[in-house]
Structure 1
Amino acid sequence: MDNSRTQWWRDAVIYEVYVRSFADSNGDGIGDLPGITARLDYLASLGVDALWLTPFFPSPQADGGYDVSNYRDVDPMYGTLTQFRELLDAAHARSIRMIVDIVPNHCSDRHPDFQAALAAGPGSPEREKFIFRDGLGENGELPPSDWQSKFGGPAWERVPDGQWYMHIFSKEQPDFNWRHPEVRADFERTLRFWSDLGVDGFRIDVAHGLMKDLELPLRNTYGADIAPLLSPPEGDNHPFWDREDVHEVYRQWRRVLDEYDPPRLAVAEAGVSLDRLPLYVRQDELDQAFNFFYLRSPWEAGELRRVIDAALAGVASVGAATSWVLSNHDVVRHRTRYGLPAGTDLLRWLADDGADPVPDDAVGERRARASLLLTYALPGAAYLYQGEELGLPEVADLPAAALQDPIFERTGGLEKGRDGCRVPLPWDGDAPGYGFSTGKPWLPQPEYWGKYAASAQEGDAGSFLALYRQAGAVRCGFLATDPGSEIQWLDAGPEVLAFRRGELICVLNLGSAPVQLPDGTLILASEPGIEGRLETDQSAWIRCP
């Protein structure tokens, strides 16, 4: 079997499409599948190898589609299964692969299996597919344990017959019992359904959360003085994070994905420590896992190098390839993060509508541009989040009335949630809805959104869009001639990251003083006009045979 086909993802550029906010084709204010199809040439111009689509399955949309009621169909708000096939075929015609987002930890409370469990009552086989327990207290009026939801409040919801069901996220997202054979069998059917249609891989939501320690009595994670709105810690031997037996699931999934030629990709969203992350990408399990430590790393040379070295060493120990990601649909956009003082509490900053501290946007812009060249030069896959190629900042001041993230309601407004990074894209600065939709966008776009529009950046050699296109083209050419090369760190001072990878040298200046560039041919820089040296927060690629 051709190894270049089977492991295409090792050095791929993969673009995350948050379907709801990408492009709307029918004027209802919600992005859809035909909207993506219409923008494929734009995506191809970025040099991306694959698209990752967030969930587009039937859903009541209690959590942006991550509450799935049918895993093997398309929600009418996004289109039809026929339109998905059309998108898939059109992407493949442009040599762009397709990754779909699978949500195995939980489903919607409207899912037929959960509705059957509610109707069947305590002790029924239907309830065994989920995690139902009797409550504590004299009359079962207390939750079965102190486990807390990631979205705030208890991870238990009581039903009219008195039992409680578990939900790590919102109450509309009951957790599956992954010890039940039919749960496992049904998800294998889902993997085969989309693989048979021709999708190239899967992103696995909450990959580290499927298995729980359900031995009675359920052990607590906090003391009696638990704060009611805190999210659960994810430390060692936690009752529902990173359990050893979750790997049994992925070994079976690997066998299913390997039935196809080429084998389907599986990438894990696993919020575990750097030393645990390689366990998810062993040869008989998944292919990649998101490196959130890179995303969270401060703008500091020593810490960035530590994270890079640890990530590369971890995957090398199991023969895998790492991934690099700076933004996604769950975090503050990195242009804004990089403009905030080190150590800023992002939850409090969002709750304050981004007013204090005020981001230094000029700094954030330079660092966002510089970080692209660092990310693209590293071995492994680079995951982009839609709009970062336009230099979009976080929209921190969305009014409370517009917010739709369930985190806002479940925390009683203490946390604003993730809507600020999900504002619909600006395509045309002069069009209604900035070209996203002819109708009212599902989230309001700020008045200044037009200056970031793709139309405003076309033809501007110094724009974010131009930099992403240039970096994509150079990266593709470099990997075509020097694939799989490892990095060799160069001594450039404590505030500079410099490494060689084959004929490519990448230099990033994180210090306050200018640094001289090494000898060689300058092939790309993060800012126009760079010659011979880098100022603060600038990066460059040098070719040195």
Structure 2
Amino acid sequence: MSTTATMANSSESERMADPNWWRQAAVYQIYPRSFSDSNGDGIGDIKGITAKVPYLKSLGIDAVWLSPFYPSALADGGYDVDDYRNVDPKLGTLEDFDEMVAALHAAGIKLIADIVPNHSSDRHEWFREALASPKGSAARDRYIFRDGKGENGELPPSDWDSVFGGPVWERITEPDGAPGQWYMHIFAKEQPDFNWDNPEVRQDFLKTLRFWSDRGVDGFRIDVAHGMAKDLSEPLPLKADLEAKAGADGFIDGSHPFWDRDEVHEVYAEWRKLFNEYNPPRTAVAEAWVHETRRARYASPEGLGQAFNFDLLQADFEAPKFKKIIMDNLLAAKETGASSTWVFSNHDVVRHATRYGLPKGNATAAQGTNAAQDVTATEPKGQDGKAWLLAGGPAEELDVELGLRRARAASLLMFALPGSAYLYQGEELGLQEVAEIREFERQDPAFFRNKGVEIGRDGCRVPLPWSVEGTSLGFGDGPAHLPQPHWFSKYAVEAQDGIEGSTLELYRTALRLRRELQADEELEWVETGNPEILHFRRPGGWQSVTNFGDTAVDLPAGTVLVSSAILEEGKLPANTTAWLR
């Protein structure tokens, strides 16, 4: 083995053993059903991921975040879990999972598994037992069952709405056939909420976390981390009262009956003790859509250690907004001892290459299932002029070229920031949101429960294009479970691999440099006198400059390491980021 190879392997080995590997990691989210299909059934699977490990290594990521892969009826894209300690047979087996972990680790890539603790599937053995058991039984106490109101219990316990529309309560039929109690589901009715006051629930999730940690999982992404603890003391408040208080202070005192209650951190303190039994300790990141003043506790060293910061994801492409968000989050991370997290796209939101091509002010299009996605598509006019209809507003043209240019600039800026960068599969290809999915082809419950309000999340979950030709563009040997539009082929990996200037090669270059240049989690702003420019230095003497404006500007002196667009006679063009040293 050459000296260079020995040094590289040594460095990789040290990185895998480093307990702080997560602090400035590049994490790539895989939505397994839409990544790679190894057997031609139209659904991505575990073996498909294993086969693409060389691609992931070439990308230069530090970790994979794997969205749910558990047995599921797919009432909510896999977030309705039947069995927390198994693999969906449609995706593979536990042996396939072990092989994938081994392949990722051999490539120097960590694995973060998605955990869904707020609710199970209605097919989970515990919920089936609850339905077959009497009122007041131990089986029912694992979930949240309540008697209804009205003369015969025919009215739900409260008038609250679920995230996916409709009531948050569903009535059951008792074992004797009579109309019975109601159970709570913050999301779809197929997703009954656990009762986290029940010690058996807590112990079972500790068992689950240990099960996957023992199989080599390096960390966990906690779904709806702010929704587990609940106070359902009578009388339950009216929806109108909750809405009024939310408008006043956003429940920043932790008093909402089921969102962001302080008691949830007792659970995470237990989890942290378990995580720290491993060497290196298992990591965790909270998906917590909470007020910025409430985020720190989720990211504390005594809790999960890190929490998603969705602020940039929800911001328009404007320099002052970006700078304030960056400064606020770096300060918050410093105060808690966590590291910042940065993200522009994921499986719940409109892809940022599309968002940035819409008129400014449409950042609501980015928001996930805890805030409406206000984008619906009209009949497409082709990839160069897709028409988008904003809910309650006029049709607007999507500027595809501008959206991609800004997305490339934003991503390169993100990679320059201290903290963890979270990528969503396909963003390295510059993929746009797919609008032209017909109603009978859609799968997202958000669409079916809120027609006319939400287009749903299917548009960012369309299977990846690997080849420029083929039934599913290299995703598999047969048709994909969600239809790929004809224009997807020009974004395929095959079309960009090795092509200078392609989005794929930009990501590869940036992630390689990021690893080489990475140093302390510090950032020094450089004042330019131009409000459209964000310029900062990182330890080691390298700099990042982003031009949010419409005209080219002079670059500071130095060697250009990478830029998101071709320089114009040595100047930094509009909507472009460059790194210099």
TM-score by length of 2: 0.89
1:120-199 aligned within 5 A: 120-161=133-174, 162-199=180-217
1:292-340 deviations in Å (ceiling 9; x for gaps): 1111111111111111111111111111101100100000000000000
Matched, 1:96 2:109: yes
1:457 to 471, 489, 496: 496
Match of 1:468 in 2: 507
Query: Structure 2 counterpart of 1:378, which letter?
Result: L
- Which amino acid is 2:171 matched to? R
Tell me by how many angstroms 1:351 deviates: 5.1
Cα distance change, pair 87–246 in 1 and its aligned pair in 2 (3 A): same
How far did residue 414 of structure 1 move? 3.5
AA at the equivalent of 2:27:
I
Partner of 1:6: 19
User: What's 1:230 paired with?
Assistant: none
Counterpart for residue 436 of structure 1? 475
Please say if 1:419 is aligned against 2:432: no
Alpha-carbon offset, residue 529 of structure 1: 4.0
Q: Secondary structure at the residue paired with 1:292?
A: coil
Q: Report what 1:499 is aligned to.
A: 536
Whether 2:396 is the aligned partner of 1:360: answer no
CA distance in 2, matches of 1:224, 1:539: 43
Alignment partner, residue 34 of structure 1: 47
- 3-state SS in 1 of match to 2:473: helix
Q: Which residue of the other structure, out of 274, 286, 289, is the alignment partner of 1:256?
A: 274
Q: Which amino acid in 1 is paired with 2:564? A: S
The CA RMSD over aligned residues, in Å, is 1.7
CA distance in 2, matches of 1:35, 1:262: 28
Give, as a single letter, the amino acid of the residue that structure 2 aligns with 1:349.
Answer: V
Determine which of 463, 466, 485 is the counterpart of 1:446.
485
Mark the CA change 1:213 to 1:265 in structure 2 (over 3 Å): closer, same or farther: same
Measure the CA separation in 2 of the matches of 1:64 and 1:39. Answer: 22
| Residue deviations 1:432-487 (CA, integer Å, cap 9, x gap) | 210001111100000111100000111210100010000011111101xxx22411
Amino acid at match of 2:580: I
Per-residue displacement from partner, 1:121-162 (whole Å, max 9, x unpaired)? 211111111111111122211111122111111111011132
Q: Verify the 8 A CA contact 2:162 2:168 in the aligned structure 1.
A: yes
Q: Is it true that 1:22 corresponds to 2:35 in the alignment?
A: yes
Residue 285 in 1 paired to residue 303 in 2?
yes
Q: Give 1:373 deviation, angstroms.
A: 1.3
- State, as a whole percentage, how many aligned pairs show the same letter: 54
Gap runs ≥5 in structure 2: 1-13, 175-179, 366-372, 380-387, 390-394
CA offsets per residue over residues 80-117 of structure 1, 9 Å max, x none?
00000000001100000111100000000000001111
State the alpha-carbon separation in 2 of the partners of residues 78 and 235 from structure 1: 40
User: Is residue 399 from structure 1 mapped to residue 438 from structure 2 by the alignment?
Assistant: yes
Deviation at 1:412, TM superposition (A): 4.2
Please give the TM-score of this superposition, normalised by the length of structure 1. 0.95
Look up the match of 1:520: 558
- 1:221/1:238 contact within 8 Å kept: no
Contact 2:37/2:48 (<8 A) preserved:
yes
1:350 maps to: 376
The answer on whether the counterparts of 1:74 and 1:80 sit within 8 Å (CA) in structure 2 is yes
Residue 524 of structure 2 corresponds to residue 488 of structure 1: yes
Which of 221, 236, 239 is the aligned partner of 1:221?
Answer: 239
Q: Is the contact made by 1:234 and 1:241 (CA closer than 8 Å) also made in structure 2?
A: no
Aligned-pair distance for 1:520? Answer: 1.3
Deviation (angstroms), 1:491: 0.7
- Structure 1 range deviating more: 525-534 or 297-306: 525-534
Does the Cα contact within 8 Å between 2:38 and 2:476 map onto a contact in 1? Answer: yes
- Tell me the distance in 2 between the aligned counterparts of 1:293 and 1:460: 33
> Quick one: distance in 2 between partners of 1:266 and 1:224?
30
- The alpha-carbon deviation at position 283 of structure 1 amounts to 1.6
Q: Does 1:48 align with 2:84?
A: no
Q: Decide which of 478, 481, 487 is 2:517's aligned counterpart.
A: 478
Partner residue of 2:571 out of 533, 538, 541 = 533
SS of alignment partner, residue 65 of structure 2: strand
CA distance in 2: counterparts of 1:441 and 1:530, whole angstroms: 41
Partner of residue 509 from structure 1, selected from 531, 539, 547: 547
Structure 1 counterpart of 2:99: 86
Structure 2 vs 1, CA of residues 119 and 95 (structure 1 numbering), >3 Å: closer, same or farther? same
What is the CA–CA distance in structure 2 between the aligned matches of 1:60 and 1:391, rounded to whole Å?
A: 31
SS at match of 1:222: helix
* Alpha-carbon distance in 2 for matches of 1:430, 1:120: 54
* Equivalent-residue separation in structure 2 for 1:98 and 1:224 (angstroms): 39
**Given residue 494 of structure 1, which amino acid in structure 2 is its aligned partner?**
P
Paired residues of 1:351 and 1:414 also in contact (CA < 8 A): no
Query: Could you say what secondary structure the match of 2:68 adopts?
Result: coil
Q: By how many angstroms is 1:413 displaced? A: 5.1
Residues paired across the two proteins, number: 533
**Amino acid of the structure 1 residue aligned with 2:62:** D
Any idea what the Cα deviations from partners look like across 1:199-228, whole Å, max 9, x if unmatched? 1010000000000111112222325999xx
Contact 1:147 1:154 (8 Å CA) reproduced: yes
- Distance apart, 1:431 and its partner CA: 2.1
